[in-house]
Amino acid sequence: MSVEQNQTDVRSLSGTITVPGDKSISHRAVMFGSIAKGTTTIRGFLMGEDCLSTIRCFRQLGVRIEHVGDEIIVHGKGIDGLKEPSEVLDVGNSGTTIRLMLGILSGLSFYQTVIGDESIAKRPMKRVTKPLRSMGATIDGRDEANLTPLSVRGGNLTGITHTSPVASAQVKSSILLAGLQAKGVTTVLEPHRSRDHTERMLQAFGVNLLITETGVSIEGGQSLQGGGVVNVPGDISSAAFPLVATAIVPNSEVKIQNVGINPTRAGILDVLKKMGAQLTVSNEREQSGEPVADLTIQYKKLNATTIDGELIPRLIDEIPVLAVLATQAEGKTVIKDAEELKYKETNRIDTVVDQLVKMGADITSTNDGMVINGPTPLYAATVDSFGDHRIGMAFAIANLIAEGETTILRKEAVAVSYPNFFDMLKDLSR
Ligand code: S3P
């Protein structure tokens, strides 16, 4: 489907905004509330398509989940309260839903089939199904349980120590959620620390974890205590778009209130500072066990940088829009150690590079990232999001500084994580 982008000429951006709730935290609040005993109230929940898929799946598993005003109320009856679904569980476009849910389902003795959309059908699930099978779950699917549809019959799990070759919070969380239901201790080790929302929220639900520099351990047989409130902060991955837009559109200044700045997610702030951005972090506080702040940024000419190593998992979802930023920075920006980009909603190395080349950027792909020389002027083109929300939004930001009118195909994909994205841009535009 093709949709024209009607972004009139933008001279500057200014204003104070909030961004939608954090996607990772919203998913976990519904899932953990569903397997806890007691009622969990979620405020600031992201009403994006991905998180709505999580609600739909857990309703199918027998959990009463209400939407009252601005709140989501989850009536958990404990993990044993989940019921065998009569229909297949459809996760839509959501990798977090499928991977974390597989960890929960692996401990349950009933039968389930899990599917998703055409992007999910291409994404590797073996990274979770292999360790989950080694814990004792019966999981089958195409390519040795690597690709959907997947069928699961769980139960009788035994704890394992899993050394993940990639820093992935989805893998870590999936195995920990199975470990919660396994005999003995389950440990997940990672090459770098991935986002730690699962650890923070499990602890808030009363679960004991052992957290070290290299990994996390959980003892099986613990139960989650509901009854609390989860206040979801604004998603830094969504804030990334107005942050970059403000940094590259001359004479701009924008304040974004109530953004989650968990250090395992806040790599973009480090990169912006390293590139010389005029960025202020203020009003730092804690909310439901997560650090939160207000971010103020002004336009300023930036310098190129290198993004690699432990920084990558701390900003993996922001790389498409950081590539747009790098086209406007002085010098050569190198993004490496980011092969994981190939396994996201699209192959984000290919989609970013191919589409930015169409707009005139000096960008080339490498095996594990991309190299961008800047600054270069960008020109209007017809670009395709390929149904990937973050690609659609990154190109809407590129369009702000491009000469002419860019057409973004399948731009409606933004609803996966930022339903009012285009309204936000319009509101900030002067
Ligand atoms: C997520 C983890 C990351 C991230 C994704 C959300 C999560 O994926 O890219 O958007 O909520 O745990 P990986 O765990 O595959 O790195």
Distance from Cα 94 to the centre of ligand 1, integer Å:
10
Strand locations in 238-305, DSSP E? 253-260, 278-287, 290-298
Q: Which atom of ligand 1 is nearest to the CA of 172?
A: 14
Instruction: Quote the CA–CA distance of 221 and 158 in Å, as a whole number.
Output: 11
> Is residue 170 annotated as involved in ligand binding?
yes
Is there an atom of ligand 1 within 6 Å of 416 CB?
no
CATH 2.60.120.560 is the classification of domain 23-231: no
* Positions of E strands within 69-208: 71-77, 89-90, 111-115, 138-141, 147-153, 161-163, 185-189
Start-end of CATH 3.65.10.10 domains in the chain: 2-21+233-428, 23-231
**What's phi and psi for 29, nearest 5 deg?**
-65, -40
pLDDT at 284: 98
The answer to whether 356 touches 316, Cβ cutoff 8 Å, is no
Selected from 1.10.10.10, 3.40.50.300, 3.65.10.10, 3.20.20.80, the CATH number assigned to the domain covering 2-21+233-428 reads 3.65.10.10
Give the three-state DSSP class for 351: helix
Q: 64 a known binding residue?
A: no
- Tell whether 390 is in a known binding site: yes
Asked whether 96 lines ligand 1 (CB < 6 A), one says yes
Evaluate the CA torsion angle 288, 291, 294, 300 in order and state its sign. Answer: negative
Amino acid at 273: K
| Residues above pLDDT 90, as percent of the chain | 97
CA distance 265 to 389: 18
35 SS3 class: helix
pLDDT computed for residue 405 by the predictor: 87
Does 285 carry a binding-site annotation?
no
Q: Report in angstroms the alpha-carbon separations of 250 from 88, 277, 329.
A: 50, 13, 13
**Letter string b/e over residues 233-265, b meaning 16 or more CB atoms within 10 A of that residue's CB:** bbbbbbbbbbbbbbbbbeebebbbbbbbbbebb
Q: Which residues of the chain fall below pLDDT 50? A: 1-6
> What's the pLDDT score for residue 163?
98
pLDDT at 10: 87
Is 317 annotated as catalytic? yes
pLDDT of 397: 98
What are phi and psi for residue 425, nearest 5 degrees? -65, -40
Nearest 5°: the CA angle 420, 425, 427 is: 90
148 lines ligand 1 (CB under 6 A): no
For residue 40, give the nearest of 57, 53, 25 by alpha carbon: 25
Residues 6+ apart with CB under 8 A from 287: 231, 233
- Annotated catalytic residue: which of 317, 350, 362, 368? 317
- pLDDT on residue 121: 98
Ligand 1 pocket, residue 170 CB under 6 Å:
yes
pLDDT at 320: 98
Ligand 1: nearest atom to the Cα of 344: 9
DSSP 8-class letter at 280: E
How high is the pLDDT of residue 2?
Answer: 36
Nearest residue (by CA) to ligand 1, atom 15, is 168
Q: Is the Cβ atom of 237 under 6 angstroms away from ligand 1?
A: no
Which pair of structure tokens corresponds to residue 223? 């139960």
